[in-house]
A = this chain, B = another copy of it.
Amino acid sequence: MIGVFDSGVGGLTILRAIRERLPGVPTIYLGDTARVPYGTKSPEVVIRYTRNNARFLLSHGISLLVVACNTATAHALPTLQKELNVPVVGVVEPGARAAAAKSRSGRIGVIGTAGTIASGAYQRALQAARPGCELHALACPLFVPLAEEGWLEGEVPTAIAEHYLGQLRGRIDALVLGCTHYPLLAPTVARVLGEGVALVDSAEATAAAVEDALPPTRAGGTSHRYFVTDVPVRFAEVAARFLGHAPETVEQIDI
């Protein structure tokens, strides 16, 4: 069984890619909706919450853990990999490798939460994937509340995207969407950046990394469970937009 967690709903895009690639494997998803967002919090607090989430999923017998949140991956991946005795896959390295492969010019942008960008995790992963590349790393803090509100198109999202990203126009040919909320804003981001910029998210590349790292498991029933830390109503409402179909069941827990 594969365990996947995120601060909220965004990680469902990662889960969706995993389920499409590995249709026979059971999954368990945890959205920490009572403590969302992680992107504005300190590394210490994000590491603490990440440990809580990992402990909950491990108690369900997972054989691989996916940190489907860029901020949690940026702050806590090495800690979890050291502390846990199952493989732990994050979203930063797969996304960075995908972007490095897509860029022809080697001029690459990465956008994320304040926490993700300040951590330098993407900058290190991109330099490792494509040594000598020219990097532009920018925090876009208003993108998460816009995506959570479903306010994705029109004057305000465009003005916010222009404020953050206008400076990148003509200077990059690939942009990592370094937050699982950002793919919802991709059409607006693409219009602001103009043609010739590939937008890269981590979903496909992370699913491929999961397939590589998954320990062999005995066959069993394929079930998919969803847990959240706030009430399930709103999660269930927006989950379909990220997952592509309604989640089977959503249960609330207190961790």
Interface residues of A (CB under 8 A from B): 33-36, 40-42, 44-45, 48, 141-142, 144-146, 148-149, 151, 155-156, 159-160, 163, 229-231, 233-234, 254
Q: What is the minimal beta-carbon distance from A37 to any residue of chain B, in angstroms? A: 8
Contact (A146, B156) CB under 8 Å given A41-B34, A45-B231: no
Indicate how many identical chains form the complex.
Answer: 2
Q: Are A230 and B156 in contact, CB atoms less than 8 angstroms apart?
A: no
Q: What is the minimal beta-carbon distance from A57 to any residue of chain B, in angstroms? A: 20
Q: A44-B231, A155-B159, A156-B156 are in contact. List 13 more A-B contacts (CB 8 A).
A: A34-B35, A35-B35, A36-B40, A42-B233, A42-B234, A45-B230, A141-B145, A141-B149, A142-B145, A142-B146, A142-B151, A155-B163, A156-B160
Checking B42, B156, B230 against A163 with a beta-carbon cut-off of 8 angstroms, the contacting residue is: B156
Contacts of A229 in B (CB 8 A): 45
Contacts of A145 in B (CB 8 A): 141-142, 144-145
> Complex: how many Å from CA A163 to CA B154?
11
Contacts of A142 in B (CB 8 A): 142, 145-146, 149, 151, 156
A145, A156, A160 — most chain B CB neighbours (10 Å): A145
